Amino acid sequence: MQEFQTNKANLTQARLQETPVHTLGDGEVRVKVDRFAFTANNITYAVMGDQLRYWQFFPPNGDEPEKWGIIPVWGFGDVVESNSDALPVGERLFGYFPPANELIIAPKRVTQTSLLDGSVHRAELPPGYNLYQRVNHERGYDRAHDDQRMLLFVLHLTSFCLHDLLKSNDWFGAEQVVIISASSKTSTGLAYGLADDKDAPHVIGLTSNRNIDFVKSIDAYNSVLSYDTLEQIDASKPTVIVDMSANTDVLSSCIST
């Protein structure tokens, strides 16, 4: 068995670490990791690993555990061994996994469609990351869509929350919403949500020159501008800026426009 570990101080350094076989305790379940997505979003988990405790979800095996960490990923796994009456062998789960061959969990609060991992080291961590979906019990589950779900689910969940925040606050009085880094997956999800909301303000997508044709093809923004044409934004209108870029220069330019 192996797990993929990253040097927490230098993310360009990584290793495959051999892991010992874990004998299941009472109530524990062995999940074979089937597939997972690894994107820029996962790098964010590593960059914020100490501040937001992402490194704590999956403690590393091997020497120098304080140096090496496991970057969490979203993916699918299958139960191959179980000491839990609530979760039999053959169950397929979607959720937070290590990039490794397997994960040992201690299911609790098991419902027909979901469960939480009750492992002691995860007890104080955000529960949303400890939630696993029992996908075989979902209406309309299609394994052919697993790859899209791994890539988009979490980011589009963020998009949904952003849309809900804006709408529940009556758009903060804005007459237009400016989304920076309009080509990102989270931005795209938010743009689709706003486009589907008849009460949403005018939505402007900002992107680089190389991505402008792609963003226009999405057909989710009312208008699309490059970072070089910020002067076309009507600065007289109350505006909400949603910044997905973390580019302080672009954000400052938007604010001063």
Answer whether residue 149 is part of any domain.
no
Kindly report, residue by residue over 176-224, the tens digit of the pLDDT: 999 999 998 889 999 999 999 999 999 999 999 999 999 999 999 999 9
Answer whether residue 90 is part of any domain.
yes
pTM for this model (two decimals): 0.78
Tell me which residue range forms the domain holding 105.
2-141
Answer whether residue 210 is part of any domain.
yes
pLDDT at 256: 67
Phi-psi group of 210: left, alpha or beta (phi > 0 → left; psi -120 to 50 → alpha; rest → beta):
alpha
Answer whether residue 148 is part of any domain.
no
Q: Are 101 and 23 in a shared domain?
A: yes
Burial class (CB in 10 A: 0-12, 13-18, 19+), 105: buried
Number of alpha helices (DSSP H) and beta strands (DSSP E) in the chain: 5, 14
Boundary-marking domain end, from 107, 141, 175? 141
76 in Cβ contact with 36 (< 8 Å): yes
Q: Are 128 and 29 in a shared domain?
A: yes
Q: Are 94 and 188 in a shared domain?
A: no
109 in Cβ contact with 117 (< 8 Å): no
Number of folded domains in the chain? 2
Q: What average pLDDT values come out for the chain (257 residues) when binned by 10 residues?
A: 95 94 94 95 91 94 93 97 96 97 96 95 91 94 95 86 94 95 92 94 94 94 92 90 80 70
Q: Are 55 and 165 in a shared domain?
A: no
pLDDT at 216: 95
Task: Tell me the CATH number at 22.
Answer: 3.90.180
pLDDT at 248: 74
The β-bridge partners of 37 are: 74
Answer whether residue 52 is part of any domain.
yes
> What is the spatial distance between Cα 78 and Cα 57, in angstroms, rounded to a whole number?
19
Boundary-marking domain end, from 141, 164, 184? 141
